Amino acid sequence: MSQVFKRVKEDFACEHCGVAVRGNGYTNHCPQCLWSKHVDNFPGDRAATCGGAMKPVRLEQKAGTFILIHTCELCGKTISNKVAPDDNLADFVPV
């Protein structure tokens, strides 16, 4: 199992809100509702068998960069992701 990032350019329909998302190879969550899906063990590997919904639970700032924290509703794994320029942070309410 490799821990090296693998860029995977994929378009997808958000399973939480239904928005059609155009992937750029780094897209790992819906820019509208910020939800994700547990598909990776390591970024880009698509090797996770869980497939659970990843709920956006927190927003952090590190060295001037905003980081979105997701928690899988199925297995409980927590993953951090950089916020993208097109992410809708205006409606984000952490839970």
Domain boundaries, the chain: 12-82
Q: What span, in angstroms and rounded, lies between the C-alpha atoms of 85 and 80?
A: 16
At 95, is the pLDDT very low, low, confident or very high (cuts 50, 70, 90)? low
Q: Per-residue pLDDT averaged across 2-30, rounded? A: 86
Question: Is residue 36 exposed (0-12), middle (13-18) or buried (19+ Cβ within 10 Å)?
Answer: buried
As a whole number of Å, the CA-based R_g of the chain is: 13
Tell me if 26 sits within 8 A of 41, measured CB to CB.
Answer: no
Place of tokens 């880009």: 44
Q: What pLDDT score does 46 carry?
A: 85
Residue 19 vs residue 7, higher pLDDT: 19
Q: What pLDDT score does 92 carry?
A: 81
Helix (H, G, I), strand (E, B) or coil at 76: coil
Q: What is the pLDDT of residues 34-46, one digit of tens each?
A: 999 999 888 878 8
Residue 78 vs residue 9, higher pLDDT: 78
